[in-house]
């Protein structure tokens, strides 16, 4: 009996110790992340810290987005902090970036949301990737009136039902129409189109917009199909598409790996029509995945960050990203940069950290985005000006390089 | 392009790819009873090593490209073989016969390997230069020369594997162990050693598949898992441990997908393959060509 | 079981319930609820393992419960408490259909069959009734049904765990273990292995379906990716690492591994690497699981399902 009592006490101690240890480790963990965050060298020791959060995949096939978003946000924070941060009521603040892997699903997304908002107490969310995790985030952030800047495309998570959500990159709604218009001008006499997308949120969102635009332009949609994420063999799908003899093939929201495989298969089966990835986010990644099969493909959401049309800031960021983390930057990577710039502009303008007053500022303030000075707009489509107005870029793969062939500014 | 011929061509060449990959798994799962959930990661190892040798480091760029690929293949399977030997020795050998523990440890290994690839190569898919460039036209259907090569190599591999299993002492020892461990040991077969080498052969097959298939496809840290799913379907349908079953089921799956996607849609074809698996397990668990075990 | 032991576990239970009602920090409350729900998943997973089978579709029944509850409360305005029980019942019904067919095979084959079934269910969540189930994006906007929801979760979890414990100790539990030890022998004395396997599956799935309902209402969003065979495998790892031979093993596995994952959260891409390493190391150094290792080090004395059956056999 005595042995039982001793052993039971041991269990009780262990069960009590474990959560205590964990809680202390967690607070320790919180401070350790601040040492490699965006608080630059030249900052005032006495400045207070504003934590900003990112929820994005950092493992799995979409890991590039989370990894680059975290890095870009930290660069933006460094940039702002080195210039003196922001001042509110005479007090100086610097930014610190906290990013977690949301594993691209709701469970991970909900846990990250809880950690960011309730444990780390971030004041703003400057980057979110993935529809399901973003929705998980919004359940907490909207109620807590936390300004949330997202890269998600679906109009279903924006607008007057989500007053604290803003988008700081272009979405299919903004880019597909100009892209299609340009393509039809450059290639006359096209009549039919096949629209292929992955069966996930980005694919479905892109498909909705693309189908509408193609129909408006009078094209005949001969194939509309969706493939499972993780497909490795596309020859069967390609055969099905080619049997309908389309003039144009629109790969919609397909990620570079899948698009590359489809393009290779198209080449094999001898088709050389007009190819586009309506919401393609990176020409460089497409070439990396597809090699020669990528030649001639148009992309709608892949601004050039390294060539002649890129701004100095973009070129600098892209170069350093390659050097420091060996990653290519794409439009999704840049989204937190624009978010941080927008945040800074709004705080400078309104002199406060209060979300509702910041909203008022965001509606009219000028944002020093990586593309240049711009503002928020999009009330007609979204209900309030939540969409940062960025230039729409049409990119084409020419001689193995991603070349921007057209740029439309949308400063209204 | 004659659509029907194209569908057949697609079925055959994708079937060939599935067969190469599944050979290793049927050996490991069917014969050695090791549930190697990290099998896909060894495929990826073969693919990434090829990428490193041929594209990134351009190690053999000064030689004829066929020789270059052959050398890349040899080095890749040597490296993977050594790693596999060590992995079996340190990790899997503890769990012989304990299917569940082996499964869990393989999951852990898979997570570790995938992240290592992620950190080394980033998640962005990479293209590997093809060895056999150009496309050919057969009876009205088009197929890239790369894939013709894969088809031929798949046949060679299966013939080679069948010979090893049936004719060599090693192959016979493996079969003996899978049928009755104690009886095999009584006959003087070194269970530990044969299992270890059997594991190495299995994963070397996976890596070979990676070297062969990746020029026709792309490589990224997570590509192994997709093939793993297909491979499980194939070895169940064909019969775990049966090489002829592997071939039959591999091409069968190719046909189901090719025609299923064409006449219906992709989700249908995927669901169909899983339902077939379930039916097979219920009606004839040993698969089309497997033997009733125990 | 001695009186002293009873009181000790009662004290632990009271502490757990207290946690449920007193946790004000939403982050900790969410974590606590996750621990509760995963504990139910892990213990019920092990319950099915008592008859010797690994069910990789376990997470799918969890998902069926979650989706049923979410759909009923959002689209059909059903009150939570009704949805809660209906979720369990629907999961149980599906499990009867699955079990009646699937348990015709066993071991490897049942494992693979459950894996295939899990994929079919995932495809179903993704592609069927998209206006109700939400398709790929799933369902969002699920609400917390009552003020002290976390207290409710704590109480329900404990009730379920106690139920499972007594079931395991009961005749049913002994029959399941007998089937695992030797199916042929059990059948030779008149035990219908099929009937009892299905029974264990149904009981487990009923409870897991109800826990799925709770999950939906404290997570607020669900999607098909949350209920795949990956989750079943993670749960299996909780059971094996915690200790498959003891009732409390799975709970230990859940608490430890979930907290480890939380600690690793700040490490970005390295999180998965460290987690995989943790699993490998745990399996290498504690092959009997944490509970089993503690037992053999004589640090604690717990009822083992293995040693029990050997004692029974001595009779």
pLDDT computed for residue C307 by the predictor: 46
CA dist A44 to A83, A84, A91, A123, A176, Å? 11, 8, 11, 20, 45
- In 3D space, the residue among C149, C144, C160 whose CA is nearest the CA of residue C13 turns out to be C160
Return the SS3 of A198. strand
Instruction: State whether residue C34 sits within 8 Å of chain A by CB.
Output: yes
Which chain A residue is nearest to residue B226, measuring alpha carbons? A230
pLDDT computed for residue C303 by the predictor: 56
Asked if pLDDT for residue B148 goes beyond 60, the answer is yes
Cβ pair B149, B77 in contact under 8 A? no
Q: Report how far residue B170's alpha carbon sits from residue B176's, in angstroms, rounded to the nearest whole number.
A: 10
Instruction: State whether residue B13 sits within 8 Å of chain A by CB.
Output: yes
Q: How far from each other are the two terminal CA atoms of chain B, in whole angstroms?
A: 50
Asked if pLDDT for residue A35 goes beyond 50, the answer is no
Q: Report how far residue C123's alpha carbon sits from residue B278's, in angstroms, rounded to the nearest whole number.
A: 15
pLDDT computed for residue B150 by the predictor: 87
Asked if pLDDT for residue C308 goes beyond 50, the answer is no
Return the SS3 of C109. helix
Asked if pLDDT for residue A262 goes beyond 50, the answer is yes
Asked if the domains A48-170+309-390 and A173-300 are classified in one and the same CATH topology, the answer is yes
To probe the interface with B, which of C119, C235, C244 has the most B CB atoms within 10 Å? C119
Across chain B, the runs of DSSP E, i.e. the strands, are 126-127, 135-138, 141-144, 218-219
Q: Report how far residue C250's alpha carbon sits from residue C236's, in angstroms, rounded to the nearest whole number.
A: 9
pLDDT computed for residue A186 by the predictor: 92
SS3 content of chain B, % helix, strand, coil (to 5): 75, 5, 20
Q: What is the CATH number of domain A48-170+309-390?
A: 3.40.50.2300
> Average per-residue pLDDT in chain A?
87
Rg (CA), chain A: 23
- Does the beta-carbon distance from B267 to C116 stay under 8 Å? no
pLDDT, tens only, C98-141: 999 899 888 878 888 898 899 999 989 998 898 899 888 899 88
Which residues fall within 8 angstroms of residue A57, CB to CB, at 6 or more apart? A63, A65, A66, A101, A102, A103, A104, A129, A130
Domain positions in chain B are 24-222
Domain positions in chain C are 3-225, 228-315
Copy the structure tokens of residue A375.
């503002």
Cβ pair B102, B199 in contact under 8 A? no
Touching C: A residues 362-381, CB under 8 Å: none
Instruction: Give the HSE-up count for residue B67: Cα atoms under 13 Å, Cβ half-sphere.
Output: 6
Q: How far from each other are the two terminal CA atoms of chain C, in whole angstroms?
A: 19
Cβ pair B84, B248 in contact under 8 A? no
To probe the interface with B, which of C118, C273, C285, C288 has the most B CB atoms within 10 Å? C273
Which residues fall within 8 angstroms of residue B21, CB to CB, at 6 or more apart? B43, B206, B209, B213, B227, B230, B231
The mean pLDDT value for A199-205 works out to 88
Which of A304-308, A334-338, B178-182 tops mean pLDDT?
A334-338
pLDDT, tens only, C239-286: 999 998 899 999 999 999 999 888 888 888 888 898 899 899 988 988
Which chain A residue is nearest to residue B270, measuring alpha carbons? A228
Assign domain A173-300 to a CATH class.
Answer: alpha beta
Task: Give the distance from CA B66 to its chain's centroid.
Answer: 22
- DSSP conformational letter for C104: T
Smallest Cα distance from B144 to chain C, Å: 32
pLDDT computed for residue B242 by the predictor: 81
Confidence class for position C193, pLDDT limits 50, 70, 90: confident
Residue B135's beta-bridge partner residues?
Answer: B144
The mean pLDDT value for A322-351 works out to 94
Task: Give the distance from CA A112 to its chain's centroid.
Answer: 17
- In 3D space, the residue among A13, A15, A6, A1 whose CA is nearest the CA of residue C299 turns out to be A6
Burial B53-71 (b: 16+ CB within 10 A, else e): bbbeeeebeeeeeeebbee
The mean pLDDT value for A114-136 works out to 94
pTM for the full predicted model: 0.88
Q: Report how far residue B163's alpha carbon sits from residue B201's, in angstroms, rounded to the nearest whole number.
A: 14
Burial A25-52 (b: 16+ CB within 10 A, else e): ebeebbeebeeebbbbeebeeebebbbb
What is the residue whose two structure tokens read 């902090």? A81
pLDDT, tens only, A60-110: 888 999 999 999 999 999 999 999 999 998 899 999 999 999 998 889 999
Provide the percentage of residues in chain C whose pLDDT is more than 90. 52
- Does the beta-carbon distance from C140 to A154 stay under 8 Å? no
Which of B22-31, B68-77, B91-100 tops mean pLDDT?
B68-77
Asked if pLDDT for residue A7 goes beyond 90, the answer is no
pLDDT, tens only, B160-216: 888 888 888 888 887 787 777 788 888 888 888 888 888 898 899 899 989 988 888
pLDDT computed for residue A412 by the predictor: 39
Instruction: State whether residue A224 sits within 8 Å of chain B by CB.
Output: no
The mean pLDDT value for C213-219 works out to 95
Residues in chain A closer than 8 A to C219 (CB atoms): 106-107, 110, 136
Domain positions in chain A are 48-170+309-390, 173-300
């Amino acid at each position: 009996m005595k042995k039982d009592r001793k052993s039971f006490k041991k269990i009780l101690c262990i069960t009590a110790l474990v959560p205590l240890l964990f809680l202390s480790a967690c607070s320790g963990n919180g401070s350790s992340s601040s040492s490699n965050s965006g608080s630059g060298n030249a900052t005032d020791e006495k400045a207070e810290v504003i934590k900003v959060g990112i929820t994005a995949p950092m493992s799995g096939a979409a890991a590039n987005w989370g990894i680059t978003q975290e890095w870009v946000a930290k660069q933006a924070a460094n940039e702002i902090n080195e210039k003196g941060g922001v001042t509110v009521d005479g007090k100086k603040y610097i930014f610190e970036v906290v990013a977690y892997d949301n594993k691209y699903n709701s469970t991970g997304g909900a846990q990250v949301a809880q950690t960011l908002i309730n444990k780390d107490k971030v004041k703003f969310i400057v980057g979110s990737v993935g529809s399901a995790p973003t929705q998980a985030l919004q359940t907490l952030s909207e109620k807590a009136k936390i300004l949330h800047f997202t890269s998600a495309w679906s109009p279903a998570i924006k607008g007057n039902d989500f007053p604290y959500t803003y988008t700081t990159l272009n979405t299919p709604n903004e880019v597909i129409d100009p892209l299609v218009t340009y393509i039809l001008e450059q290639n006359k006499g096209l009549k039919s189109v096949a629209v292929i997308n992955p069966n996930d949120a980005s694919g479905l969102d892109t498909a909705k917009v693309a189908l509408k635009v193609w129909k408006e332009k009078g094209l005949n949609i001969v194939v509309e199909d969706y493939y499972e994420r993780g497909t490795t063999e596309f020859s069967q799908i390609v055969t099905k598409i080619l049997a309908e003899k389309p003039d144009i093939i629109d790969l919609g929201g397909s990620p570079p790996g899948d698009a590359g495989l489809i393009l290779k298969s198209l080449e094999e089966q001898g088709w050389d029509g007009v190819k586009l990835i309506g919401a393609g986010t990176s020409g460089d990644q497409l070439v990396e995945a597809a090699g020669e099969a990528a030649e001639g493909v148009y992309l709608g959401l892949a601004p050039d960050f390294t060539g002649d049309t890129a701004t100095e800031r973009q070129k600098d960021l892209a170069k350093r990203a390659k050097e420091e983390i060996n990653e290519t930057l794409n439009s999704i990577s840049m989204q937190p940069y624009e978010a941080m710039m927008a945040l800074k502009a709004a705080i400078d303008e309104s002199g406060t950290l209060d979300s509702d007053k910041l909203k008022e500022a965001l509606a009219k303030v000028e944002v020093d985005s990586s593309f240049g000075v711009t503002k928020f707009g999009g009330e007609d489509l979204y209900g309030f000006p939540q969409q940062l107005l960025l230039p729409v870029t049409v990119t084409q793969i020419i001689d193995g390089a991603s070349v921007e062939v057209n740029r439309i500014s949308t400063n209204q | 392009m004659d659509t029907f011929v194209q569908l057949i061509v697609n079925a055959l060449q994708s079937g060939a790819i599935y067969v190469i990959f599944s050979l290793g798994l049927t050996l490991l799962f069917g014969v050695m009873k090791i549930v190697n959930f990290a099998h896909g990661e060894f495929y990826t190892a073969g693919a990434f090593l090829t990428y490193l040798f041929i594209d990134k480091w351009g190690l053999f760029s000064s030689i004829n490209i066929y020789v270059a690929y052959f050398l890349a293949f040899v080095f890749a399977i040597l490296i993977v073989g050594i790693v596999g030997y060590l992995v079996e020795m340190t990790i899997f050998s503890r769990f012989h016969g304990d299917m569940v523990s082996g499964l869990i440890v393989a999951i852990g290994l898979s997570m570790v390997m995938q992240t290592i690839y992620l950190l080394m190569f980033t998640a962005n898919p990479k293209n590997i230069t093809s060895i056999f460039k150009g496309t050919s036209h057969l009876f009205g259907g088009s197929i890239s020369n790369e894939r013709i090569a894969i088809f031929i190599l798949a046949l060679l591999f299966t013939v080679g594997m069948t010979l090893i299993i049936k004719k060599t002492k090693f192959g016979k020892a493996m079969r003996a162990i899978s049928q009755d461990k104690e009886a095999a040991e009584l006959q003087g077969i070194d269970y530990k050693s044969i299992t270890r080498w059997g594991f190495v052969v299995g994963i070397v097959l996976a890596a070979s598949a990676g070297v062969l298939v990746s020029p026709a496809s792309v490589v990224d840290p997570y590509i192994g898992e997709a093939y793993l799913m297909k491979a499980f379907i194939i070895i169940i349908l064909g019969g775990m441990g049966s090489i002829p079953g592997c071939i039959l089921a591999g091409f069968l799956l190719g046909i189901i997908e090719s025609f299923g996607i064409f006449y219906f849609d992709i989700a249908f074809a995927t669901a169909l393959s899983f339902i077939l698996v379930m039916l097979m397990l219920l009606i004839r668990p040993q698969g089309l060509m497997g033997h009733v075990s125990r | 079981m001695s009186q002293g032991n009873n009181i000790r576990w009662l004290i632990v239970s009271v502490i757990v319930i207290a946690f449920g009602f007193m946790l004000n920090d939403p982050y900790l409350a969410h974590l606590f609820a996750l621990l509760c729900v995963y504990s139910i998943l892990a213990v019920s997973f092990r319950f099915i393992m008592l008859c010797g089978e690994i069910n990789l579709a376990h997470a799918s029944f969890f998902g069926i419960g979650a989706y049923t509850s979410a759909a009923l409360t959002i689209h059909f305005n059903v009150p939570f408490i009704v949805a809660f029980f209906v979720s369990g019942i629907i999961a149980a019904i599906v499990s009867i259909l699955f079990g009646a067919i699937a348990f015709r095979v066993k071991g490897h084959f049942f494992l693979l069959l459950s894996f295939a079934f899990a994929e079919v269910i995932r495809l179903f969540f993704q592609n069927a009734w998209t206006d109700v189930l939400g398709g790929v994006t799933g369902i969002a906007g699920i609400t917390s049904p009552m003020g002290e929801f976390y207290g409710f979760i704590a109480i329900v979890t404990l009730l379920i765990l106690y139920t499972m414990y007594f079931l395991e100790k009961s005749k049913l539990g002994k029959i399941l273990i007998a089937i695992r030890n030797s199916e042929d022998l059990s059948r030779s004395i008149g035990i219908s292995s099929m009937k009892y396997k299905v029974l264990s599956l149904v009981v487990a799935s009923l409870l897991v379906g109800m826990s799925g309902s709770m999950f939906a209402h404290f997570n607020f969003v669900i999607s098909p990716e949350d209920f795949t065979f990956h989750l079943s495998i993670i749960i299996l790892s909780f059971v094996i690492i915690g200790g498959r031979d003891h009732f409390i093993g799975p709970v230990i596995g859940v608490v430890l591994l979930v907290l480890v994952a939380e600690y690793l959260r700040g490490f970005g891409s390295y999180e998965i690497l460290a987690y995989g390493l943790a699993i490998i190391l745990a399996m290498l150094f504690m092959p009997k699981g944490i509970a089993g290792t503690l037992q053999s080090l004589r640090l604690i004395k717990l009822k083992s399902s293995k040693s029990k059956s050997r004692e029974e056999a001595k009779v």
